[in-house]
Structures are given as structure tokens and as C-alpha cells.
Amino acid sequence: MTTDHPPAFEATSTIELQSIADSKITGVSLYPSRAEVTRLYKFAVKTGQNQVQISGLPNLLEVESLRVEGRGAATIHDVTVSRAKEEHVQTSSPELTALLSKRERIADARSRCKKSLAALEQYLNSLTIQHLDVSKLESVMDNYDSTGEKLESKKSDLTEQLRSIDADIARARIDVPKENERLRMKAVVGVFAQTAGDVEIALIYAVPWATWTAFYDIRVDMSAKEDSITLNYRAAITQNTGESWEDVPLMLETSTPTFGIGIPRLTPWNLEIDHGLPPPTIHIKRPAMMMPVMMQAAPAPIIIQDSHRSRSHSRSRSRSRSPRAYHAPVAPAMEFRGVYVASKGNVSASFRVPGLVSIPSDGEAHNFTIVKLNLQAAMSWVCVPKLDTKAHINAKITNASEYTLLGGKASVYVDGSFISRTEVPPVSPKESFDCPLGVDPSIRITYHPVTKKLSRSGFYTKSANYVFSQRITVFNTKTIVAERVKIIDQIPMSQNSQIEVKLTNPALTLPSQSLTSSTKPPAPQVLNIARGVTAQWDGVDEPDCELESLGVDRKLNWLCSVPSQGKINLALEWEVTVSPARAKIIGL
């Protein structure tokens, strides 16, 4: 019978690591309001219990977000996080120490020189006629002058040496790394190892004061028939977390992490009769706030096995996917590459910035290009001549890429010239958005004066009938056809049963007049007025168009294809009938 004896473990080994000096950031996932940082530490452990003390973590570290992952033949037992209070990093260097020692010696020599000069003056002042023969007075004075001159010269040299060494010390202090008061958090990780060897652990933690916002450069080539839009999707990254990100792989996340967001609950809504008495005081007991659900900083034991074995741990990850790797990636060549979509869904997407990036903790915006997209757009000219006869160019851009466009500012360039700044709304893949491109002076629109005719009818109850005519001229001075010129106008709406307004030209009918409970909703009405000219109620071509609401505001538009150097005349006519005829109409 054999007896198995447990191995003899050594006493607890303490391993001290400086976070910045002894680790490497292997991944940063940047959200619009915070960043998740992965730091990798490599060190040797002894057989038995090891206490790994990691100092220099950022003060902004969200303790609830901290988790530890690892690789190697060891087990993580516990994790604690605290703020360092007493410990301070020495802010010196061998060069600075030598300079300070030398300065002290020079300062002591200068002090002795001053004392010698003072003693020489005191000796000369102590001489009297009783102690000094007159015949020796000349010799004493010569010695005084010679000795004093040597001491003054030595004092002057030592003073100059002090000035010089003070300048050297000031320069040396600049090169000495200062203790960062913003990196005062400390993590202690208990690691139990069956055998001595090298292991790796990764600290993954979230920090606020890090953000990114999207902005765009939109360049339009008016002469291009396909892919006339070049959209540069860019990111402005700002971080002031206390630790610099040097040569890190960066992932940009479009989602915003939220904690403790619950479904709001409705409280009873009661009605009472007002009896003229002051309302009674009602004490409402508000429901308790939902506390955020966080991961524990000291998780259950995590087993770290050999790299050739599968890694298991009893704590599930906060996300099912992770762009991080335990080994630092190799930096790619210095060339531009577009980002790739690491993951995408109906709600959010992740962008991997190519190569490695460095972002100091300075609170300044650092700009990076995410991707350069060539997109198609439907160009159109829009004019509301009743208010302004200028034709505004609009591009309806379709996001044909797999990238989700976040809302952000955009600089618009047309044929190489800066036109304006605009806002890009949040745009999902395959979705479209409007981009105004400024005013096109080559499309000239004339809004002619309106004409009005009045007639009366009826024998007993007379009514007044007004007929209005409006003419609009569109002139295309371009050398190419203007395919989609939209002219928007309106007729008045009646707010009184005594006033009736009827559109006669173009002869558009309201969809509500064609709807019944037994019939299917008809298609939106589009009238062919002339070759290349159609009329419709305004809003028909909008993606959120509701058939029942068309024409309610009495706005209509014409879509025109205007040939090069060609003109198109549009006519708008409507009738206003009021009964009795003597009634005065306001707003006509």
C-alpha cells in the first residue's frame, strides 16, 4: 500500500508589477461613452500561492467591470481592487542623483570659501600697533591681497559651477518620469500554481472619459453617372483616462452600454371633482430604483490551463464575442487599409481600425479614417418658388455598404469646392438619407404673379367664386438634362364650412375621397402633365408616406425632366367659393 504525500509548497510569493511598465495593452474597445481596455501581464510564478500586486491602474477604473482572464498551469483564487494611499513611485534617476550629489559638494566648497573670506577680514581687523611691527605692515597687506584675491576667484568659480549644475539638474528633471497621480489604483490577484513556470493574465476593465464621434467628408462628382458620391467615414477619438494607449489595436463600437435601465411603470391616474378646496396632500411612495447589474470584482475561481488545453472558467463573459487576443498582434505595414466590420446586427456594429494606433491621455480629439465608401445617389433639384426661387441641389444617398453610419457632422464638397456643412442622421445599411448640396444657379425659376377672377352666382343666396391662376417657368441653362427638378407649391385650406376650395389644375383628388371601408386603398395618384412632367401630392415619394395624409396640407409638387437649354411652363389653378358673397375671407 502506497501513501500519496502532497507536494511541499513554498511560502506565499509576492510579485510586484507596475501596470504600464510590465504590461501591454492588447485591445481597446471604444464605445461612445467609455472604453474597455485589455492589459496583458507575463510573469513567473513559484509553486504554491502567489500574490500578484499590480499598481498604477487608472483612478477612473470602474471596479464592477474588472475581470481577469489567464493562461498557464495555475488557478486564480481571488481578485481585490483598492486605491493606493501611502505608496509613491520614486521620481529620480542615476544621472539626477549624481548631479544632486555634485551640487551639494560644490555648495559646501562655496560655503567654506565664504567662511575663509570672513576669517581673513576678521584677522585683519584684529591687528593693532601693539601686535604688529610697522616694518612688517607691507608684507601683511600683500599677503591679505593675495589670499583674498584667490578666495574671491574661487568663490566666483564655485558660483558659476552652481549655476551650470542647476541648469543640468533642471534638464535632468524633465527626463525623469513623474508619478502620475491619476494612476493610483491597485489590483491584487491570488494565483495558485501547481508547478513553477511562466503564466499570463489579462485584466479587462472599463474606464469613462473616453469617447468617439463620427464625422464625414462627402465629395460629390456631378459629372459622374455611377458612384457619384465619395463618403469618407471618420472617427474623432478623445480619451483622458490617465493612461496613454500606445500602439494598440482599436475596436470602435456603435452601441452604448447601459446599466440599470428598466421598463418604466405607470402610476394610477385619478380624476377628482374640484370643490374649490385646496387639494389634499398625497404622499406617493416611489418604487425603488433598479440597481445596475454588475459583475463581481472577486469572481469564482478561474482555472488557467496549459496553452495546448482548452480554457474553462466558471464566470460567463459579459459579451459572447470578443476581439481581444492574449498575444499582442503584429503591427501591419504603414499603408492605408479600410476597416472591416467585426460584427454587425440589427442594433449595433463594431469597426476594427486597421493597424495599431496611439492615443495619448490628453483630452484632445485624434482623427482616424474608418473607411472610404463609393456610394450612389439620386440627384434632384428642389425649389419652393413661393418663398424662394433658388433651386437647391439634393442628393438622396443610399448606404449600400455593410457599415452603420452614426449621426454626425459632415463637410460637403461639390466638384472639389467646399459647399456647406450638414448633419448625417443615423443610417443603417441599405437605408437612404438626404444630403443638401447647396444652390444651383444654372436652374432658373420664375414665379409669375398670380391672376384672380371673381364671379357671383345664385338668386336668393348669392355666392362669390374666385378663380386663381399661377404660372411657373423652369429654365435649364446646363449643357446636360436636369432629370429630377421638383417644384413645390400649395393652395389654401378652408377652415370654415362657408368656404370651399377646389384644385382644378392639376386635377389631383384627395385620397380620402377614394377610401371606403369596402375598397382597398388606391395607389397614390400621379398625373402625367406633359412629356417629362408629372404632378402629385407632396410627400408621395417619402419613405414614411401615409396615403390617408396626402393632400391634407394642400401641398403638391411637379417632377420635371428639363432638357438642356430648355424651358418648362407649369400651371396651378384653384377655385375658392364663399357663401354668402358678402362674407369676408381672411387669408385670401
16-20, 460-464, 539-543 — which one is most confidently predicted on average?
16-20
- Write out pLDDT tens, residues 230-276: 999 999 999 999 999 999 999 998 876 555 556 778 888 877 776 66
Cα–Cα distance list, 100 to 95, 105, 172, 218, 256 (Å): 9, 9, 10, 59, 52
- What's the confidence (pLDDT) of residue 58? 93
Q: To 5 degrees, how large is the angle CA 63–CA 64–CA 66?
A: 65
Q: Residue 11 has what pLDDT?
A: 75
Q: How does strand 185-193 pair with strand 74-83? A: antiparallel
308-322 pLDDT, tens digit per residue, is 333 333 333 333 334
Task: Please check whether residue 381 is in contact with residue 261, taking contact to mean a CB–CB distance below 8 angstroms.
Answer: no
* Residue 473 within a domain: yes
Q: Give the model's pLDDT for residue 78.
A: 87
Nearest to 245 by CA among 28, 467, 483: 28
Residues 39-97: tens digit of each pLDDT = 999 999 999 899 999 999 999 999 999 999 888 888 888 899 998 775 554 555 678 78
pLDDT tens by residue, 396-446: 999 998 888 889 999 999 888 898 899 999 998 889 999 998 899 999 999
Give CA separation, 160 vs 105, 148, 165, 273, in Å.
14, 18, 9, 94
The whole-number average pLDDT for the span 332-345 is 41
Cell of 339: 476597416
CATH number for position 142? 1.10.287
| Residue 297 in this model has a pLDDT that exceeds 60 | no
The pLDDT value recorded for residue 310 is 35
The answer for residues whose C-beta is within 8 angstroms of residue 69's C-beta and 6 or more apart is 201, 202, 204, 302, 313, 326
Domain annotation covers residue 144: yes
Distance between CA atoms of 519 and 213, rounded to whole angstroms?
50
- Retrieve residue 449's grid coordinates: 404673379
Question: Is this prediction's pTM over 0.75?
Answer: no
pLDDT tens digits, 133-173:
666 777 877 888 888 888 889 889 999 999 999 988 888 87
Range of the domain at 163: 94-174
Q: Would 150 be classed as within a structural domain? A: yes
Asked if 218 and 412 touch (Cβ cutoff 8 Å), the reply is yes
Give a yes or no: residue 4 inside a domain.
Answer: no
Residue predicted with more confidence, 483 or 523: 483
Model pLDDT, residue 383: 95
58 in a domain, yes or no? no
Compute CA 209 distance to the chain's CA centroid, rounded to the nearest angstrom. Answer: 11
* Residue 396 half-sphere exposure toward CB, CA atoms < 13 A: 12
- Pick the last residue of a domain from 142, 174, 206: 174
Decide if 340 is inside a domain.
no
Across 186-212, average pLDDT: 92
Q: Number of folded domains in the chain? A: 2
Q: Which of 156, 174, 192 is the last residue of a domain?
A: 174
> What is the average pLDDT across 486-502?
90
Of the residues 174, 198, 231, the one at which a domain ends: 174
Any domain includes 126? yes
| Residue 562 belongs to some domain of the structure | yes
Residue 48 backbone phi and psi in degrees, to 5 = 105, -150
- What are the φ and ψ backbone dihedral angles of 96, each rounded to 5 degrees? -65, -40
